[in-house]
Chain A
């Protein structure tokens, strides 16, 4: 079961910790904001949870794919 990392864009202030913790799927754009490049596969789940927990702006959420 894969999950999706979602950014609360108005809260994000380009602190970049998500990229540090999860470089496999989080890149940074030229202004330092995250570019989420793929789904969170099971092997990345622990790191993704850490990124959500440690975001200094609490601007990340891990979501299951929508049921629709």
Chain B
């Protein structure tokens, strides 16, 4: 199997941050956690929903979907909901969920437990990354310290890029192959065993956990009026670094100095290339970056030594190999797209037109967004080249 251009790490450097990642020196244990935050309060669902709405809390897995909308949908179902904490972090360049598992597992668990109680859920499922054994051990150690009187069920996701996709996770929980299937209804309507299922990644749960523990006012003390709070970023490298920054922080303060002038791949392998100058002029913001066509995604930034075309070709090779090989357009289209991108890197005549054509052809045609994400990456490479050429 084609190796990923960046290997999944369970040894990120976790930097002290203003909220989730504050007080790292105290360690990840429950006693220190309770000393810092106090006991986990019970919250009423309506109060929680109102706070989440006011604070515009969004999912941190990449799609930035409003968390309150998902929670409300799960709560409105007739059956008892199920809560899922997705720690699988299938994107190898990302290490933020792993960082939380290692350094702040009880914030993640408090978020899931508080919401499970507010929803009347009895089960919390945790999906762990098989490629990152230190994260698995950290979560198991944290669970052993707690007595939440909820059933916790552990699952281990495969080492595959698409294994963390919501439907692939539900398949894993159902005892089937950990691969995406067509979602006819949102999982918050009908997910695990047909129950409303609230599935979010570890950072989302940690943000909700902190909100419940410290209250709305302290949550909103950081960030901007439109986007309160903080977000986690992974600065990719031999040892990835996980930063926590308030929304509105200028990228210039975050990007390593040695990256100056080089194109940056923002949002990981399903992300977009951005010229350094463009990114350095912006702030860390979901809305502004989405408007600029360079979504923040799960907050991964990569700046490879290789030129973008050659690096993208390697990434698309890897992504093609990561296909679940079930959907025809992905199974056939991604290898063809990889060949076209190699053509672009080698400077062969018609390769750019072919790459653009294939990117258009695979988009929106799969059980999951794997072809769409790959197409987005390729399109951004073509746009970057056009920008450099003009």
Contacts and interface: CB of A to CB of B under 8 A. Distances in A.
Interface string A1-30: 000001111111110000000000000011
Contact of B328 (A6, A12, A61): A12
A8 B182 contact: yes
A25 to B, nearest CB: 14
Given A29-B361, A35-B361, A61-B184, A9 B367 contact: yes
Contact of B365 (A11, A13, A33, A61): A33
Given A35-B361, A35-B365, A14 B328 contact: yes
Contact of B329 (A9, A11, A61): A9
B327 A9 contact: yes
B184 A31 contact: no
B214 interface: no
A12 B365 CA distance: 11
Contacts of A33: 328-329, 332, 365
Given A7-B365, A9-B366, A10-B367, A31 B328 contact: yes
Interface in B150-184: 180-182, 184
Given A31-B332, A61-B184, A10 B361 contact: no
B326 interface: yes
B65 to A, nearest CB: 12
Query: Which of B326, B328, B333 has most A Cβ within 10 Å?
Result: B328
A29 B184 contact: no
Contacts, number: 41
A12 B327 contact: yes
B181 A10 contact: yes
A28 to B, nearest CB: 10
Interface residues of B, number: 16
A65 to B, nearest CB: 14
Tell me whether chain B's interface is mostly helix, strand or loop, or mixed: loop
Interface residues of A, number: 16
Tell me whether chain A's interface is mostly helix, strand or loop, or mixed: loop
Contacts of B330: 9
Contacts of B324: 10
Nearest to B327: A9
B332 A9 contact: no
Nearest to B185: A66
Interface string B304-334: 0000000000000000000010111110110
Nearest to B357: A30
A33 B366 CA distance: 11
Nearest to A9: B327
B367 A29 contact: no
A36 to B, nearest CB: 9
Given A31-B332, A61-B184, A9 B326 contact: yes
Query: Which of A6, A11, A33 has most B Cβ within 10 Å?
Result: A33
A31 B362 CA distance: 12
Interface in B161-215: 180-182, 184
Nearest to A7: B365
Given A33-B365, A35-B365, A13 B182 contact: no
16 contacts: A6-B182, A8-B182, A8-B367, A9-B365, A9-B367, A10-B180, A10-B324, A12-B327, A13-B328, A29-B329, A29-B333, A32-B328, A33-B328, A33-B329, A33-B332, A35-B365
Given A9-B328, A31-B329, 19 more contacts: A8-B182, A9-B182, A9-B327, A9-B329, A9-B330, A10-B324, A10-B326, A11-B182, A12-B327, A13-B328, A14-B328, A29-B333, A30-B332, A31-B333, A32-B328, A33-B328, A33-B329, A35-B361, A61-B184
